[in-house]
């Protein structure tokens, strides 16, 4: 992933020098904000280095805020990111992950059933959406205070992950999933290029037990 405090073309250059085949492009301030970047220049750099692109929005974008004005502002930014990624030819857009829970370790251990029930409801909703999009879209759009057409316009750029895929990604109780490998690779890159000065371990931040209690 590019460092948002650096110019994007500079980030593409060093990734290409390392032999990477794609960039996980995040559009975040201060220097990679969606309203500041030049898609034409970025596209030329990607073409020059034969690199693919995965779109990546700011993880802190509060699209699920309970405050309507904040949700609306977040969706303006989301749509702006979608437009940039579309211009760059991105076929995937990640980190709009609505089925991940962040919880304090103590709270999780004290109330595991609460999180099992919540995740079960989330994945039932995901299954319903994937099987009944036309009926689900107006319901979801209403929660974001936007029109069904506006929500539908975002669909080519993200999808809700079904339970089976999430389990495969996170892993079983006895076996780590691919997310651990990605966590470690990202951590190593952050340390190497000065984005972090403390190494974090995935086992301290990822819990596999809750999702594996779901059927």
pLDDT in tens, 52-105: 888 888 888 887 677 888 878 888 888 888 889 888 887 665 544 444 577 888
The lowest-confidence range among 105-109, 150-154, 175-179, 189-193 is 189-193
Residue 191 Cα to chain centre, angstroms: 21
| Stated pTM of the model | 0.58
**pLDDT over 70 (residue 10):** yes
The lowest-confidence range among 21-30, 117-126, 144-153, 206-215 is 144-153
Kindly list the domain boundaries of the chain, sorted by start residue: 1-96, 100-215
Residues near 32 by Cβ (< 8 Å), separated by ≥ 6?
Answer: 2, 4, 6, 7, 8, 25, 26
Q: Note the pLDDT of residue 158.
A: 66
């Amino acid at each position: 992933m590019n460092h948002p405090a650096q110019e994007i073309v500079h980030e593409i250059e060093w990734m290409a020098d390392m032999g990477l085949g794609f960039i996980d492009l995040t559009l975040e301030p201060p220097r990679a904000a969606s309203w500041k970047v030049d898609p034409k220049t970025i596209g030329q750099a990607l073409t020059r280095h034969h690199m693919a692109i995965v779109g990546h929005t700011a993880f802190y974008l509060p699209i699920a805020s309970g405050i309507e004005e904040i949700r609306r502002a977040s969706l303006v930014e989301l749509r702006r990111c979608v437009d940039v990624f579309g211009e760059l030819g991105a076929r995937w857009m990640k980190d709009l992950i609505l089925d991940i829970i962040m919880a304090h370790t103590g709270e999780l251990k004290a109330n595991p059933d609460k999180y099992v029930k919540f995740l079960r409801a989330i994945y039932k909703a995901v299954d319903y959406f994937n099987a009944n999009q036309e009926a689900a879209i107006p319901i979801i759009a209403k929660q974001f205070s936007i029109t069904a057409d506006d929500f539908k316009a975002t669909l080519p750029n993200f999808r809700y992950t079904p339970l089976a895929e999430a389990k495969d990604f996170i892993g079983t109780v006895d076996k780590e999933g691919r997310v651990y490998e990605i966590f470690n690779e990202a951590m190593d890159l952050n340390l190497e290029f000065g984005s972090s000065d403390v190494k974090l371990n995935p086992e301290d931040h990822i819990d596999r037990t809750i999702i594996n209690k779901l059927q």
